[in-house]
Amino acid sequence: MQIWKPKTNLRALNAVPLGFGLDSLLGGGIPTETITEIYGPPASGKTNISLLATVNAAKAGFRVAYLDPEGSFHLKRVEQIAGEYFDQVIEKTTLLEPESLAHQSQIIRSIIGKPFRLLVVDPITYHYRLELDRVDPFPTNQELAKQLSMLSWHARKKNAAVLVTNQIYSDFKGGYEPLAREVLGYGAKVRVELGIEGDHRTAKLIKHISMKEGKMVKFKIVGRGIIDY
């Protein structure tokens, strides 16, 4: 049985802070009780933000389940971000490696209801994209919708933060769209779009339950994590 320290009781967590300007757009960080989706192009910072959330949750004493279908959870990068807290972060984090979309569902089913206060899936659409049948996308979309429903249930029952990242595709008008926009749109009540501009990156709030949408912050990825630009 998991015994929680008094300061980490069920109601003590409202959001997992990231430690840079995006927190203010989100009202404190990745909120609990819902799913937050962060999407953006390659190298825009999705994994760095996932790792920052993991480190900050673990530093505060919370358990984290990190689903890494892509193999981008690199210990060296975790060590740079966690610094002296590295051992604590590793001790608090359960790393899981989905090998297919169906396996990802199995893993999610096996962890929901357990005392994880942060769940990360980076990116949730890795196997989805590989397995999507363009002729009949229905079963693949349904599988993803099932995963989001389980994650949402966990977020509400366990007062947990759920962070899923998502890849994008070009819309041929010079812009981009997140994958599985509809399915993720129903599941994720908070959405952030990342971008790359010159020597910095941007994060724009697309959707939120209680914060003003449309605001943007600029940031830089550095050795110890992310700083404001």
Ligand X SMILES: Nc1ncnc2c1ncn2[C@@H]1O[C@H](COP(=O)(O)OP(=O)(O)OP(=O)(O)O)[C@@H](O)[C@H]1O
Write out the residues near ligand X by the rule CB under 6 A.
Answer: 40, 42-48, 72, 77, 80, 221-223
Task: Report, in Å, the least distance between residue 27 CB and ligand X.
Answer: 23
| Residues 202, 209: Cα–Cα separation, whole Å | 21
Least Cα distance to 218 among 206, 205, 194, 201 occurs for: 201
Least Cα distance to 32 among 151, 184, 141 occurs for: 151
Task: Report, in Å, the least distance between residue 75 CB and ligand X.
Answer: 13
**Residue from 14, 24, 72, 202 in contact with Mg ion (CB under 5 A):** 72
**Residue from 47, 54, 125, 167 in contact with Mg ion (CB under 5 A):** 47
Q: Which stretch binds Mg ion (CB under 5 A): 12-20, 68-76, 151-159, 200-208?
A: 68-76
Nearer to Mg ion, 13 or 52 (CB): 52
From the list Mg ion, ligand X, none, pick the one residue 200 interacts with, judged by a Cβ distance below 5 to 8 Å according to partner type: none
Task: Report, in Å, the least distance between residue 131 CB and Mg ion.
Answer: 19
Task: Report, in Å, the least distance between residue 47 CB and Mg ion.
Answer: 3
Please tell me whether residue 221 binds Mg ion under the rule CB under 5 A: no
* SS3 of 30-52: EEECEEEEEECCCCCCHHHHHHH
Nearer to ligand X, 46 or 154 (CB): 46
Q: Which amino acid is at 7?
A: K
CA 161, 166, 171, 173 torsion-angle sign: positive
Task: Report, in Å, the least distance between residue 95 CB and Mg ion.
Answer: 15
- Are the C-beta atoms of 121 and 166 separated by less than 8 Å? no
Nearer to Mg ion, 126 or 158 (CB): 126
**Strands of 179-215, DSSP E:** 190-197, 200-207
Least Cα distance to 122 among 208, 38, 198 occurs for: 38
The residues that touch Mg ion, with contacts defined as CB under 5 A, are: 46-47, 72
